[in-house]
């Protein structure tokens, strides 16, 4: 259908014709519902935004007491427990959550329930921290509003920024979006514009402003994160944390549809199309997890879930459990082969760090990661591309324990610090005196001070790791080739920490399609986690939230180790060593340009290898045969004690006898570290191998 529309209170010129895509949107929604059993979402329901808003309007309203209680709990969180607060005030001097709270309090008698919720979203948005968020209750909880397409910014050959449609939903069983012109590859030129597009090169500026506006209720911590988050929110919005409100003071306006200016793929003609918003509900309960072990962006996880529903609903089989975390396939596997040199590279995407597997033991995830890396030693000996773009985070210990398998160096887990407030001091003193209530284990590492511990600093308590250092190094290096890490501005939380550890321990080069990761540098607790973990003290008024309202808080601020020791992750994120501007070939040809760049960078790095061919453990010591590549010097350790240092023979292979210096009946573990330097002052392990010594007879074991 084509017609002239009134948009945002203004009449479009009569000559402007707009295609109405409402029927296609309805068909796409019906197809999703038809596939709900295959998606394992039996309660999935797709409805128009009008229908959803009628349902929301019938929900029980908040009374004044509810609103006051919510404001009090927000104040309690920010004042007593928020470790980023003094830093946020410096970084964002015009945004103060306490000023925003007082502004809301002054309007309580005039704010509707919906307007109050939007005001609370804006209160939490003042700190630019996705971990620290407000979430609306039912029916907004678990509801996601969406348009039937996805778009991303790319950089063209002249360096200009273009917004390109990357995915469209299927409207029929054959997987097509049945519109003559609008589809993947179309360039978006305007968003809810009344005037005509006169300069296509300037369209990107207006679209960037529209994207940043879409992020206003949940802004990113840095400009790249805000833009990436805003682009996603232009077409996909979890209503519990974002809503569908335009900017401005209450009352907020709801836009139930969007008019898009676009040019079809390969065409110059500019067209307009109208898309009404749809709303999906019944996406399943919120995942429950151990707060002490997690750092994740809930809204990013909700967005990822809905994205999979929208664009992968036609797939007949999906990976389950631990296997769903990993993806080793590329659309064009030939990109990982260099026919000229014969080099072979590998690709591994880590989608999250156990975000949806709270019941799965860490060791199960780590075992699968180890198996993939062992296979990569054989199938991709010349380098591995590790991709964590869009990873929303998950289990901190999983992320940090994975790092050891990529390097011979000892891993130092990141440090976490509570806010240094009177409330936290009282909680720590309460547990030091063996006070009852709360969860003492969450504060155990902060109850005693040891000489080797990191001391308190201004505004923050002493720093302690959440990952036990011995567990961060209990497996050792597995993959022995060079590694590069791919990041973007939607790499968040525990994925931020993984990227930081990767860079800080100099495991390899960090390549970003954005200049930095999302900047989520903290451990996340929900309001209920606080009430469970904090003992009932009279000066800390933690009370239940009314009407299923939810709040979350960055509870412990983390800082980096190694070469960036003391640097925070919050706001800054992890800066890429090399930035690759996303191209159209990346979007539509399986990240072709990005993968080729990564392979070129890997090809420039020498491959270091130490392979334990065989060993014979006796009471006197161990006879071992070793094969090496690009290594000049070896150190042999039995149960951690140095037993032998020796140069590598000509040809890179040799036999060695390592005496049992401990005098134990039989050593349990042999480790071999390879170095490129022979001088003690410059020596750093280039590669390591380990073997378990379980028998006094010869055994053959592949290096771990």
3-state helix, strand, coil in the chain (%, to 5): 30, 25, 45
Angstrom distance (rounded) from CA 496 to CA 510: 12
Least confident interval from 16-25, 242-251, 348-357, 529-538 = 242-251
* pLDDT of amino acid 249: 41
- Cα 304 to Cα 298, 369, 590: the distances in Å are 10, 22, 19
Q: Most distant CA pair in the chain: distance in Å?
A: 95
Determine the pLDDT at residue 15.
Answer: 53
pLDDT of the residue at 16 = 64
pLDDT band at 246 (very low <50, low <70, confident <90, very high): very low
Average pLDDT over residues 643-647: 93
357 pLDDT more than 90:
no
Instruction: Quote the pLDDT of residue 12.
Output: 47
Closest CA to 122 of 229, 270, 243, 26: 243
pLDDT score recorded for residue 700: 38
Cβ–Cβ < 8 Å for 259, 192: yes
pLDDT score of 155: 85
How far is the C-alpha of 485 from the C-alpha of 544, rounded, in Å? 42
Domain locations along the chain? 2-43+144-281, 64-135, 291-315+322-603, 609-692
105: tokens are 């309090």
Give the confidence band of 701 by pLDDT, cuts at 50, 70, 90.
Answer: very low
Cα angle at 356 between 392 and 302, to 5 degrees?
55
Residues 691 and 700: their CA atoms lie apart, in Å, by 9
Instruction: Count CA atoms closer than 13 A to 273's CA, side-chain side.
Output: 23
Task: Tell which residue, 142, 145, 143, 164, has the closest CA to residue 153.
Answer: 164
With bands split at pLDDT 50, 70 and 90, how would you rate the model's confidence at 250? Answer: very low
Q: How confident is the model at residue 703 (pLDDT cuts 50, 70, 90)?
A: very low
Edge-to-edge order in the sheet of strand 685-692: 641-647, 633-638, 669-675, 685-692
- Whether the CB-CB separation of 218 and 229 falls below 8 Å is answered with yes
The pLDDT of 584-589, averaged and rounded, is 92
With 80 as the cut, is the pLDDT of residue 493 above it?
Answer: yes
Provide the β-strand partners of residue 133: 552
Which one has a higher pLDDT value, 55 or 598? 598
- E strands, 527-668, are 550-559, 578-579, 609-617, 621-629, 633-638, 641-647, 653-659
Chain CA centroid to CA 562, Å? 22
Q: Is the pLDDT of residue 317 over 90?
A: no
Residues 350-357 have a mean pLDDT of: 83
Of 461, 459, 422, nearest to 442 by C-alpha is 461
Highest-pLDDT range among 63-77, 612-626, 649-663: 63-77
Question: What is residue 243's predicted lDDT score, i.e. its pLDDT?
Answer: 66
**Mean of pLDDT values over 248-255:** 50
Tell me the pLDDT tens digit for each residue of 424-450.
Answer: 999 999 999 999 999 999 999 999 877
With a cut of 50, say whether residue 43 has pLDDT above it: yes
pLDDT at position 351, please? 92
Contact 335, 596 (CB under 8 A): yes
Mean pLDDT on 285-306: 59
Angle formed by the axes of helices 113-125 and 64-81, nearest 10° = 10
Tokens of 245: 């409100």
Mean pLDDT of the chain: 87
* pLDDT score for 247: 42
Percent residues over pLDDT 90 in the chain: 61
Q: What is the pLDDT of residues 273-292, one digit of tens each?
A: 999 999 999 876 544 445 55
CA 156 to CA 177: how far, in whole Å? Answer: 26
Q: What is the mean pLDDT of residues 144-171?
A: 89
Q: Please, which pLDDT band fits residue 640 given cuts at 50, 70 and 90?
A: confident
Q: Give yes or no for residue 610 having a pLDDT over 90.
A: yes
CB 699 within 8 A of CB 613: no
Q: What is the pLDDT of residue 667?
A: 83
Map residue 225 onto helix, strand or coil: helix
pLDDT given at position 207? 87
Cis link prior to 529 (omega < 30° from 0)? Answer: no
> Is residue 36 over pLDDT 50?
yes
- Residue 56 backbone dihedrals phi, psi, to 5 degrees: -65, -35
Contacts of 22 (CB under 8 A, 6+ apart): 1, 274, 275, 276
Please compute the mean of the pLDDT values over residues 350-370 and round it to a whole number.
Answer: 83
One of 3.30.230.10, 3.90.850.10, 3.40.50.2300, 3.90.226.10 is the CATH number of 291-315+322-603, namely: 3.90.226.10
Q: Compute the half-sphere exposure of residue 155: CA atoms within 13 Å on the CB side of its CA.
A: 10
Residue 313: the pLDDT is 55
CATH topology of domain 609-692: Immunoglobulin-like (2.60.40)
Q: What is the average per-residue pLDDT within 413-430?
A: 96
Q: Of the given ranges (39-53, 299-313, 388-402, 670-684), which has the lowest mean pLDDT?
A: 299-313
pLDDT digit string (tens) for 466-477? 999 999 999 999
| pLDDT at residue 216, rounded to an integer | 73
Q: Which two tokens stand for residue 36?
A: 């709900």
Mean pLDDT, residues 223-237: 87
What is the model's pLDDT at position 359? Answer: 55
Q: Which of 203-217, 275-289, 346-360, 395-409 has the lowest mean pLDDT?
A: 275-289
Alpha helices in 437-583 (DSSP H): 494-504, 527-533
| 48-52, 451-455, 489-493, range with the lowest pLDDT | 451-455
484 CB-near residues (< 8 Å, 6+ apart): 383, 384, 385, 386, 508, 509, 510, 511, 598, 601, 602
Q: Please report how many Cα atoms fall inside a 13 Å half-sphere around the Cα of residue 349, on the Cβ side.
A: 16
Mean pLDDT along residues 622-635? 94
Contacts for 589 with CB less than 8 Å, ≥ 6 apart: 331, 332
Sequence-separated (6 or more) residues with CB below 8 Å from residue 242:
121, 217, 218, 233, 299
Looking at residue 6, what is its pLDDT? 42
Q: Any long-range contacts for 100-104 (C-beta under 8 Å, 24+ apart)?
A: 100/126, 101/71, 101/74, 101/75, 104/71
> What pLDDT is stored for residue 639 in this prediction?
86
d(CA 554, CA 78): 10
Note the pLDDT of residue 704.
33
**Residue 679 confidence (pLDDT) above 80:** no
Higher-pLDDT residue of 443 and 250 is 443
Answer yes or no: is pLDDT of 53 > 80. yes
Confidence of residue 573 (pLDDT cuts 50, 70, 90): very high
Whether the per-residue pLDDT at 324 is higher than 80: the answer is yes
Within 10 angstroms of residue 683's Cβ, the number of other Cβ atoms is: 15
| Listed range (70-79, 96-105, 227-236, 295-304) with the worst mean pLDDT | 295-304
Mean pLDDT for the stretch of residues 321-333? 89
Lowest mean pLDDT among 281-295, 529-543, 596-610, 683-697: 281-295
Interstrand relation of 187-191 and 161-168 (parallel, antiparallel or unpaired):
antiparallel
Nearest to 336 by CA among 387, 383, 389: 383
């Amino acid at each position: 259908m084509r017609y002239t529309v009134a948009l945002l209170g203004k009449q479009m010129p009569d000559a402007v014709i707009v295609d109405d895509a409402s029927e296609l949107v309805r068909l796409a929604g019906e197809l999703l519902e038809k596939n709900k059993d295959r998606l394992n979402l039996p309660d999935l329901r797709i409805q128009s935004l009008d229908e959803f808003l009628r349902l929301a309007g019938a929900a029980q309203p908040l009374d004044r007491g509810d609103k006051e209680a919510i404001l009090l709990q927000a104040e309690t969180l920010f004042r007593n427990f928020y470790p980023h607060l003094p830093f946020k005030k410096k970084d964002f001097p015009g945004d103060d959550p306490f000023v925003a709270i007082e502004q809301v309090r002054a309007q309580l008698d005039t704010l509707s329930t919906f307007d109050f919720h939007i005001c609370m979203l804006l209160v939490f948005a003042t700190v630019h921290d996705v971990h620290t968020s407000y979430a609306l209750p039912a029916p907004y909880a678990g509801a996601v509003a969406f348009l039937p397409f996805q778009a991303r910014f790319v950089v063209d050959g002249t360096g200009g920024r273009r917004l390109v449609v990357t995915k469209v939903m299927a409207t029929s069983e054959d997987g097509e979006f049945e519109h003559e012109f609008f589809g993947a590859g179309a360039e978006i030129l305007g968003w809810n514009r009344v005037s005509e597009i006169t300069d296509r090169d300037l369209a990107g500026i207006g679209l960037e402003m529209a994207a940043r506006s879409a992020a206003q209720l949940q802004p990113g911590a840095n400009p790249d994160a805000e833009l990436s988050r805003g682009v996603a929110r232009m077409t996909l919005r979890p209503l519990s944390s974002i809503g569908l409100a335009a900017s401005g003071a209450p009352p907020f306006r709801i836009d139930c549809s969007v008019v898009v200016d676009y040019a079809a793929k390969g065409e110059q003609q500019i067209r307009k199309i109208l898309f009404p918003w749809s709303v999906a509900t019944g996406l399943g309960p919120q995942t429950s997890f151990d707060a002490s072990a997690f750092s994740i962006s809930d809204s990013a996880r909700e967005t990822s879930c809905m994205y999979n529903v929208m664009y992968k609903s036609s797939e007949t089989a999906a990976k389950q459990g631990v296997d769903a975390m990993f993806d080793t396939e590329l659309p064009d596997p030939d990109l990982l082969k260099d026919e000229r040199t014969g080099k072979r590279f590998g690709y591994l995407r880590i989608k999250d760090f156990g975000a949806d597997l709270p019941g799965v033991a860490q060791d199960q995830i780590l075992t699968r990661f180890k198996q993939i890396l062992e296979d990569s030693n054989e199938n991709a000996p010349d380098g591995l591309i590790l991709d964590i773009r869009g990873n929303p985070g998950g289990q901190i210990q999983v992320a940090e324990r994975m790092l050891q398998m990529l390097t011979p160096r000892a891993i130092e887990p990141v440090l976490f610090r509570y806010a240094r407030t009177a409330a936290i001091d009282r909680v720590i003193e309460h547990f030091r005196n063996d006070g009852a209530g709360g969860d003492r284990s969450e504060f155990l590492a902060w109850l005693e001070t040891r000489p080797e511990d990191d001391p308190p600093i201004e505004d923050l308590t002493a720093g302690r790791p959440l990952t036990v250092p011995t567990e961060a190094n209990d497996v050792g290096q597995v993959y022995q080739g060079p590694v590069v890490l791919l990041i973007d501005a939607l790499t968040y939380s525990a994925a931020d920490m993984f990227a930081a550890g990767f860079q800080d321990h100099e495991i390899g080069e960090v390549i970003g399609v954005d200049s930095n990761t999302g900047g989520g540098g903290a451990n996340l607790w929900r309001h209920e986690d606080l009430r469970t973990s904090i003992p009932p003290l009279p000066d800390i008024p933690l009370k239940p939230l009314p009407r299923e309202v939810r709040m979350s808080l960055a509870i412990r601020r983390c800082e980096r180790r190694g070469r960036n020791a003391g640097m925070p992750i919050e706001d800054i994120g992890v800066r890429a060593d090399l930035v690759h501007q996303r191209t159209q070939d990346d979007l539509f040809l399986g990240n072709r340009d990005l993968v080729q760049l990564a392979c070129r960078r890997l090809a420039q790095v020498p491959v270091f290898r130490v392979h334990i061919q065989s060993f014979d453990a006796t009471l006197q010591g161990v006879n071992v045969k070793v094969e090496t590549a690009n290594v000049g010097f070896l150190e042999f350790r039995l149960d951690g004690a140095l037993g032998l240092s020796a140069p590598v023979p000509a040809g890179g292979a040799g036999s060695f006898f390592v005496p049992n210096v401990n005098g134990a009946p039989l050593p349990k573990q042999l480790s071999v570290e390879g170095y490129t330097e022979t001088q003690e002052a410059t020596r750093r392990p280039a590669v390591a191998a380990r073997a378990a010594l379980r028998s006094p007879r010869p055994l053959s074991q592949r290096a771990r």
